[in-house]
């Protein structure tokens, strides 16, 4: 049975309704990055139509709130389970496609932006890596990486996705300069220049005027767990938060760690900077008392058939993996 038929079967059987009943006292935080008609094989943006269908589902079954509402809605006063829509990176397609739908349905959200992207329309390193792999796969170009004298290419893997994920995980352990040099080499080799539109500060301010809580996704989207120098951590965290507050005339208390990577030192600096909501990656519901008070986990969503998006929202795949190891 194909994955699509599998998802449709369990969705039709009402599995999502059953799973949602166990969320009554928890908070479901959904993490999205792009809403766009564009396609990216390695991190596919959610189509605007899919996003609108997701919003309709959430409106029916959830009370959608902002982070600042958690303290007074977590006590069971809501008749529906709580959900938060949390976006990262600051792509302009949020402004073009997601924001109009959020405004249409009068829904709040959170968006965590990268300062350097807002300054210079800079593409983050993960987007550039995606572009390298998309170009190599689509044009059948040779692509090879060397780590510790071991070569990696598509012939060493069962699929392009497996190849990509292996390289991505290795890059999570690299210092910024080393990672930048490697990606630049590959861009030059296959002759591409990753171009992507990011929101500027004026557009971010407009988002904030429409019930979008603006948080930090760090100053440059570096891999925070690889940074050992306190002064660099201070720039990535404290300087990011300070600039957001000054430009938007607000007091942000949200930070989302790029790729879910952080450290004890980074968490301590974030607390000192006034962060109340430290956003991590993890397929789990946030129940009071189950994790440190300021740590919250988010469920990643990309473009899939609606039945799959809903089942992922309700943690069906996560529970299935735990039970049967698939």
**What is the predicted pLDDT for the residue at 77?**
66
- The CATH homologous superfamily for domain 3-121+198-324 is Glycoside hydrolase/deacetylase (3.20.20.370)
Residue 25 CA to residue 36 CA, distance in Å, equals 33
- Asked if the model's pLDDT at residue 8 lies above 80, the reply is no
> Domain residue spans in the chain?
3-121+198-324, 125-189
Q: How confident is the prediction for the chain on average, in pLDDT?
A: 91
**Which of these ranges, 4-13, 83-92, 179-188, has the smallest mean pLDDT?**
4-13
d(CA 141, CA 192): 12
**Tokens standing for residue 84:** 């938060």
> Where are the strands (E) in the chain, listed by range?
26-32, 63-64, 82-89, 109-113, 144-147, 150-153, 212-216, 254-256, 277-281, 286-287, 295-300
Cα(279)–Cα(34) distance, rounded to whole angstroms? 18
| Burial track 139-161 (b if 16+ CB lie within 10 A, e otherwise) | eeeebebeeeeeebebeeeeebe
pLDDT for 44-63, tens place per residue?
999 999 999 999 999 999 99
Contact criterion met (CB below 8 Å) for 186 and 125:
no
In this prediction, residue 22 has a pLDDT band, given cuts at 50, 70 and 90, of confident
3 versus 190: the higher-pLDDT residue is: 190
- pLDDT value at 6 more than 60: no
Lowest-confidence region among 65-69, 193-197, 238-242 = 193-197
Q: What is the pLDDT of residues 236-264, one digit of tens each?
A: 999 999 999 999 999 999 999 999 999 99
The pLDDT-based confidence of 131 (bands split at 50, 70, 90) is very high
Residues 112 and 215 sit within 8 Å (Cβ to Cβ): yes
Distance of alpha carbon 183 from alpha carbon 163, whole angstroms: 15
Tell me what pLDDT residue 277 has: 96
Contact 215, 110 (CB under 8 A): yes
- Of 259, 258, 226, nearest to 240 by C-alpha is 258
Tokens of residue 81, six digits? 């389970």
User: What 8-state DSSP symbol labels residue 23?
Assistant: G
The SS3 of residue 279 is strand
pLDDT of residue 316: 85
Band of the pLDDT at 3, cuts 50, 70, 90? low
Question: Average of pLDDT values for 38-42?
Answer: 95
Q: How confident is the model over 111-125, as a mean pLDDT?
A: 96
- Strands 26-32 and 295-300, by their bridges, are parallel
**SS3 at position 101:** helix
Give residue 12's pLDDT: 60
Of the listed ranges 3-12, 205-214, 245-254, 285-294, the least confidently predicted one is 3-12
> Residue 43 CA to chain centroid, in angstroms?
10
User: What is the number of other CB atoms lying within 10 angstroms of the CB of residue 21?
Assistant: 9
The owner of tokens 């309700």 is: 314
Residue percentage of the chain with pLDDT more than 90: 80
- pLDDT greater at residue 118 or residue 293: 118
Least confident of 5-14, 101-110, 131-140, 294-303: 5-14
What does the pLDDT read at residue 75? 62
Sorting pLDDT into bands at 50, 70 and 90, what band is 76? low
pLDDT interval class at 4 (50, 70, 90): low
Q: What is the pLDDT confidence band of residue 35, given thresholds at 50, 70 and 90?
A: very high
Specify whether the CB–CB gap between 278 and 294 falls below 8 A.
Answer: yes
Residue-level pLDDT at 195: 86
Q: How confident is the model at residue 17 (pLDDT cuts 50, 70, 90)?
A: confident
- The residue ranking higher by pLDDT, 303 or 196, is 303
Asked whether 278 and 296 are in contact (CB, 8 A), the reply is yes
Going 250 to 52 to 310 to 38, the CA torsion angle's sign is negative
289 pLDDT above the threshold of 80: no
- Among left, alpha and beta (phi > 0; psi -120 to 50; other), residue 196 is beta
pTM for the whole structure:
0.93
Geometric angle at alpha carbon 316, from 310 and 320, rounded to 5°: 155
Tell which residue, 113, 137, 154, 156, has the closest CA to residue 256. Answer: 113
Average pLDDT, stretch 285-310?
88
- Is 306 a residue whose pLDDT tops 70? yes
């Amino acid at each position: 049975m194909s994955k699509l038929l599998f998802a449709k079967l369990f969705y039709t059987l009402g599995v999502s309704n059953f799973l949602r009943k166990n969320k009554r006292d928890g908070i479901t935080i959904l993490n999205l990055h792009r809403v766009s008609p564009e396609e990216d094989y390695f991190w596919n943006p959610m189509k605007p139509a899919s996003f609108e269908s997701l919003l309709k589902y959430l409106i029916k079954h959830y009370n959608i709130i902002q982070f600042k509402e958690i303290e007074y809605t977590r006590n069971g006063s809501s008749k529906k389970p709580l959900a938060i829509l949390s976006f990262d990176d600051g792509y302009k397609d949020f402004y073009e496609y997601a924001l109009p739908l959020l405004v249409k349905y009068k829904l709040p959200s959170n968006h965590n932006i990268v300062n350097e992207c807002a300054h210079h329309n800079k593409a983050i390193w993960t987007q550039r890596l995606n572009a390298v792999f998309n170009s190599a796969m689509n044009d059948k170009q040779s692509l090879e990486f060397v780590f510790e004298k071991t070569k990696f290419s598509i012939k060493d893997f069962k699929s392009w996705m497996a190849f990509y994920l292996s390289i991505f995980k290795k890059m999570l352990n690299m210092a910024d300069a080393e990672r930048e040099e490697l990606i630049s080499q590959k861009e030059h080799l296959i002759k591409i220049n990753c171009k992507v539109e990011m929101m500027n500060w004026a557009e971010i301010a407009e988002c904030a005027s429409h019930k979008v809580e603006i948080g930090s996704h760090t100053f440059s989207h570096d891999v925070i767990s690889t940074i050992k120098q306190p002064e660099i951590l201070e720039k990535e965290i404290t300087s990011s938060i300070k600039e957001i507050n000054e430009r938007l005339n607000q007091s942000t208390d949200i930070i989302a760690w790029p790729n879910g990577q952080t450290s004890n030192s980074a968490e301590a600096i974030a607390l000192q900077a006034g962060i109340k909501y430290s956003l991590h990656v993890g397929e789990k519901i946030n129940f009071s008392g189950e994790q440190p008070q300021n740590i919250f986990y988010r469920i990643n969503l990309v473009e899939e058939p609606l039945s799959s998006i809903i089942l992922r929202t309700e943690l069906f795949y996560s529970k299935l993996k735990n039970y049967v190891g698939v």
